[in-house]
Structure formats: C-alpha cells, structure tokens
C-alpha cells in the first residue's frame, strides 16, 4: 500500500462520514459547522498531497475492498478508483471551492440567520454533494460514475429547493425532471456499452471498444454524450440551467455553477479521450460548442437579473471547454483543462459576490440596483476582479485559458476550427459587454436612476428567501459586509489571481495532465496492470 493509494478514497470517504455525523448533530448548528469545516479542510489537504504524489509517480488505481483482478490483464472485479493528473486537478480545485463556499454559507448564517436559518439539513446535504463530486472525479468504472452523479444530483435537488418557497419548488421540479432524464439516458448508455463490451471498468472497456465496429462505437458515444451534455449544459441541452440555478440561495448557486456542470465536462473528456478516441463526433462537438458560446452569451445580454445573467455566461463558457476537447489535439486539451480550473474558480466567486450584492443592496436585478460603487468601494473591488477575469482581460487567467484555446484552434487549422476561433473572440467580447453592463448599472449610476430603484427585499436572508418588497428607504441598515462572507470570497479571488501569478507551473501541469489524458496507455496500464 502506497501513501497515494491510501489517500485516494479519502475525498469520498471523509465527506460521507462527516455528512452522517452532521445529520446526527442536527440540533447543534455550531457543531455541524465545525465538522463541515474540519472535514472539508481535510479533503483539501488530502487532495493537495494527492496532486503532488500523482504528478510525481503517475496514475494511481485503487481497488476498493481489495477486489482486484482475477488474473493479470483482466479487469478488476470490484469498484476501481483512479486518480490521474486530470482528476486530481479537478479534485483540488473543487475541494478549495467547496471549502470556501461552506465558509461563506456559515458566515452568512451567523450574520443573517435567525432560528430557522441555517437550516439543519444544509450541512449534511452539502457534504453529500461534496462526496458525490469527488466520487465522480475518481470513478474508474462507468457505473460508479453514474452513482457519483446520482449522489451529487440527489443532494443538489435538496439544496436547490431548500425552504420550499413557490419559486424554488417551480425551479426544482424542472431541474429534477431534466436531471433524471439525463441520468436515464446515461443508464441507457451504460446498458448499451455493457452489452457491447461486457464490462463496466473504463480501462478494460477502452481496450475492448477498440475491436468494436466504428458505427457501433459512434452510436454508443452519442448516447453517452447526450447524457453528459445535459449535465454540462451544452446547447441545445442547456435550457434548464438558467431557469433553475438563480432561484437557489447564493452559496448553493455558487457551488452548483462552479462544480456541477464541470463534472459533466470531466465526463465528456473521459469519454472522448479514453473510451472513444479517434474523434468521430468532433465536428458535432465543435458545432455544439459554437452554438453554446453564442446562444449562451446572447442570452446573458438580454437578462436583467445578475444571477440569471451569470447563469447564461456559465452556459456560454462551457462552450470554450467543449471547443478545446473537440479539437482533440494536445494544445486544445491542455487549454480545456486549464480553462475548467479557471472557470470553476471565477464563476463561483462571481456568484458569491452576487450574494454579497443581494445582502447589501437588497436586490440582484439591474432594474433596482445602483450606486454600489459609492456605497461600498470594497464590494465594487471584489466584483470587478472576477468580472474582468471572466471577460478575459489580459493579465487574468481567463485570458490565458482563452489564448491557449485560440492557439489550439489555429494549430488545428480546419475551417470549422477557424470559425470557432472567431466565435470564441466574439463571445469573449460579449462577455465583457455583459459584465460591464452590470458594472455601469449596478455600480456607477445612482440608485434613483434605476427604474425600480426604490424597491428592495426586506432583510438579508441566509438560506430562505422571502419575496416581500419594501421601499428601499425603509430597509434597515444592514451594516458592513460580514467578514465571514467577505473572507472566502476574497480567498477565491486570490486563488483566481494565483492562476495568473503561477500560470507557468499551473499551465505546465495542465499540459502534463492533457498529455496523460490523450495517452490512454498510462490510464489503462495503471488499472489493468498487465
């Protein structure tokens, strides 16, 4: 047993156990918060060590419960967890985000919660979500990936409908239905792949799929791709996302926006490079990527609510990652890997900032906001950095990721790739327009100039919203931004900046990760040990 193989199951195990404990400790919110923070800090530490070990020693495959291979070269009998550079990078970034968001949620609960908030189920559900995300990133067989998806989805259903207000129930129903349909399609894909190859282990499946006729392979890939594309919100399967995410409480939306779609992107990367290499559906993916970018960003421009606007930019920027994957070359994949890491951080940060805006100004819609730059220069500062980062302004990580993708597109050189390069640039500029629009309206103009500027929410709420409006002048003074909310937001901004400052080593790492992803042999031999 090496250290890495002991550490690999822990990102799933720690949150699961912590979820059980917090469930028992439901009446003691302080204890719950302590357990969540400790366990998620431990997960961050474990993932960081794993990152170092995997980068140094190569891919780690763990047979859970010791149900290994019956003979060398055969697929393992039990559940396999695989940690390669890509999955470990995803784990590190997600665990940092998970920790920061739970910190934020606790800070929000302390300053704005009354006896009903924070709801006692929040912490356990959140930890289950964390376990599901980690399980999906570590899954070495297709069915386990499905189970990871289901775990995180089931937890996300509860988090999205927390409090059960009319608006959240409406959004929740659509979200649950779409997610379940995508899960069923995934299950159909699993059944068909199992019928074709007789195995669920992804390494063994990859070997066996090589002997399957091309048409069958393309059909299998297409089924899985539809399932993953719904989860990743790739156009035309993206309409559910801006509909459902904005209604949830700020920390929940933040973590959903950061992580859930990226799990889908991760699954697309795995299916594309490990199971079905050869790029048969690359052109389809390219067109989907282009449409995702354009439709997403045009949708964002039409929105007035900042949360909805950001949800649309989230959809739009998924297109960049799909673009990188579809290019299939090394540069494209490393750009996509870097972009995923960047986008998880920046999108989460922005949603956390919207939570702060909502608390301070009593609204998240541009119809009501104004004068924030004068009211709170600090808030303006924490908004503008991730906003410019999202828009891809040069020193920030968004720029680095986009340049890598553009370069990869130019290297590919096909006409479709050039169209996508153009589309990426346009999308980037339109993103900048969308966030600048938020900036000029919410931060620069006077609140009196906003059409509904006189209205606002009653009081800041932690998890459960109330829909009553009052006159803005009558709203109680909410005071300064609580440190518990500001600190994690600042920390995530710092991580986002670190992606720029340490861009050299981090980009080099994502290049190594991409190399490993594209070279299937490493993954297969780590699992099958021939």
Partner 1 sequence: MTTYLVPLILIGGLASAGVYLLLERTLTRMLLGLLLVGNAVNLLILNVGGPSGNPPVYGRSSNGSTTDADPLAQGMILTAIVISMGIAAFVLALAYRSYQLTTVEEVSNDPEDTRVAERTDEDILDRDIPDVVPSRDTDAPDELDALPGAEGSR
Query: Given the rule CB under 8 A, which residues bind partner 1?
Result: 143, 147, 150, 154, 157-158, 161, 164-166, 169-174, 176-177, 180-181, 183-184, 187-188, 190-192, 194-195, 200, 242-243, 246, 302-305, 308, 360-361, 366-367, 369-377, 437, 441, 445-451, 475, 477-478
Query: What is the Cα–Cα distance from 33 to 46, expressed in whole angstroms?
Result: 20
- Closest distance of CB 114 from partner 1, Å: 21
Of 243 and 407, nearer to partner 1 (C-beta) is 243
What are the tokens at 82?
């695989």
- Closest distance of CB 413 from partner 1, Å: 38
Of 137 and 312, nearer to partner 1 (C-beta) is 312
Residue (of 452, 415, 238, 250) closest to 347 by Cα position: 250
Cα angle 105, 111, 114; round to 5: 95
Give the residue carrying structure tokens 């939306």.
253
Of 162 and 346, nearer to partner 1 (C-beta) is 162
Which residues are registered as beta bridge partners of 201?
Answer: 141
Of 75 and 335, nearer to partner 1 (C-beta) is 75
- Closest distance of CB 43 from partner 1, Å: 24
The CA distances from residue 515 to 85, 213, 260, 272, 466, in Å, are 9, 26, 25, 14, 50
Of 305 and 407, nearer to partner 1 (C-beta) is 305
- Closest distance of CB 503 from partner 1, Å: 33
- Closest distance of CB 494 from partner 1, Å: 25
- Closest distance of CB 28 from partner 1, Å: 26
- Closest distance of CB 176 from partner 1, Å: 6
Of 467 and 521, nearer to partner 1 (C-beta) is 467
- Closest distance of CB 512 from partner 1, Å: 35
Sign for the pseudo-dihedral over CA of 297, 299, 301, 304: negative
Number of CB atoms found within 10 A of residue 210's CB: 11
Of 330 and 445, nearer to partner 1 (C-beta) is 445
- Closest distance of CB 449 from partner 1, Å: 6
SS3 state of residue 304: coil
Number of CB atoms found within 10 A of residue 435's CB: 25
The CA distances from residue 117 to 129, 163, 464, in Å, are 20, 10, 7
The CA distances from residue 228 to 234, 272, 278, 515, in Å, are 9, 11, 19, 22
Of 74 and 188, nearer to partner 1 (C-beta) is 188
The CA distances from residue 189 to 146, 205, 206, 220, in Å, are 11, 13, 15, 6
Of 254 and 434, nearer to partner 1 (C-beta) is 434
Q: Where are the alpha helices (DSSP H) in 199-329?
A: 202-209, 214-232, 240-244, 250-255, 261-270, 282-302, 306-327
What are the tokens at 297?
């960003």
- Closest distance of CB 199 from partner 1, Å: 9
Residues in contact with 452: Cβ distance below 8 Å, sequence separation at least 6, in sequence order: 365, 367, 368
Of 169 and 426, nearer to partner 1 (C-beta) is 169
């Amino acid at each position: 047993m090496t250290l890495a193989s002991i550490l690999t199951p822990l990102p799933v195990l720690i949150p699961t156990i912590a979820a059980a404990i917090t469930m028992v400790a439901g009446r003691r919110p302080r204890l719950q918060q302590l357990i969540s923070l400790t366990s998620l800090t431990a997960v961050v530490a474990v993932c960081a060590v794993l990152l170092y070990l995997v980068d140094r020693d190569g891919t780690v495959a763990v047979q859970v419960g010791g149900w290994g291979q019956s003979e060398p070269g055969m697929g393992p009998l039990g559940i396999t967890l695989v940690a390669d550079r890509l999955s470990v990078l995803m784990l590190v970034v997600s665990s940092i985000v998970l920790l920061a968001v739970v910190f934020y949620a606790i800070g929000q609960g302390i300053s704005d919660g009354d006896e009903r908030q924070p709801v006692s189920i929040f912490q356990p559900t959140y930890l289950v979500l964390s376990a599901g995300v980690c399980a999906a990133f570590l899954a070495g067989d297709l069915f386990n990936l499905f189970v990871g998806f289901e775990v995180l989805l089931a937890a996300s259903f509860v988090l999205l409908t927390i409090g059960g207000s009319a608006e959240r129930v409406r959004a929740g129903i659509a979200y649950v239905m779409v997610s379940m349909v995508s899960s069923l399609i995934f299950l159909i894909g699993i059944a068909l792949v199992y019928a074709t190859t007789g195995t669920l282990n992804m390494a063994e499946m990859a070997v066996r799929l090589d002997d399957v006729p091309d048409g069958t392979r393309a059909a299998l890939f297409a089924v899985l791709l539809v399932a993953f594309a719904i989860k990743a919100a790739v156009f035309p399967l993206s309409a559910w996302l801006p509909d459902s995410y904005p209604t949830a409480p700020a920390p929940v939306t933040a973590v959903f926006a950061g992580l859930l779609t990226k799990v889908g992107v991760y699954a697309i990367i795995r299916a594309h490079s490990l199971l079905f290499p050869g790029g048969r559906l690359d052109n389809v993916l390219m067109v989907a990527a282009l449409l995702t970018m354009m439709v997403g960003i045009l949708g964002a421009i039409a929105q007035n609510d900042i949360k909805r606007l950001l949800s649309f930019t989230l959809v739009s920027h998924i297109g960049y990652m799909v673009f990188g994957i579809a290019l299939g070359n090394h540069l494209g994949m490393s750009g996509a890997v870097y972009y995923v890491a960047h986008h998880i951080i920046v999108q989460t940060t922005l949603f956390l900032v919207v939570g702060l805006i909502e608390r301070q100004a009593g609204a998240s819609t541009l119809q009501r906001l104004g004068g924030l730059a004068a009211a709170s220069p600090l808030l303006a500062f924490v908004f503008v950095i991730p906003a410019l980062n999202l828009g891809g302004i040069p020193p920030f990580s968004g720029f680095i990721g986009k340049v890598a993708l553009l370069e990869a597109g130019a290297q590919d050189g096909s006409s479709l790739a050039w169209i996508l390069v153009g589309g990426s640039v346009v999308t980037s500029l339109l993103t900048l327009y969308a966030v600048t629009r938020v900036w000029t309206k919410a931060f620069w103009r006077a609140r009196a100039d906003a059409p509904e500027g006189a209205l606002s929410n009653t009081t800041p709420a932690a998890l459960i919203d109330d829909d009553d409006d009052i006159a803005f002048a009558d709203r109680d003074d909410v005071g300064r931004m609580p440190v518990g909310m500001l600190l994690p937001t600042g920390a995530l901004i710092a991580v986002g900046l670190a992606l720029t400052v340490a861009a050299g080593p981090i980009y080099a790492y994502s290049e190594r990760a991409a190399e490993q992803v594209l070279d299937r042999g490493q993954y297969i031999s780590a699992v099958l040990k021939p």
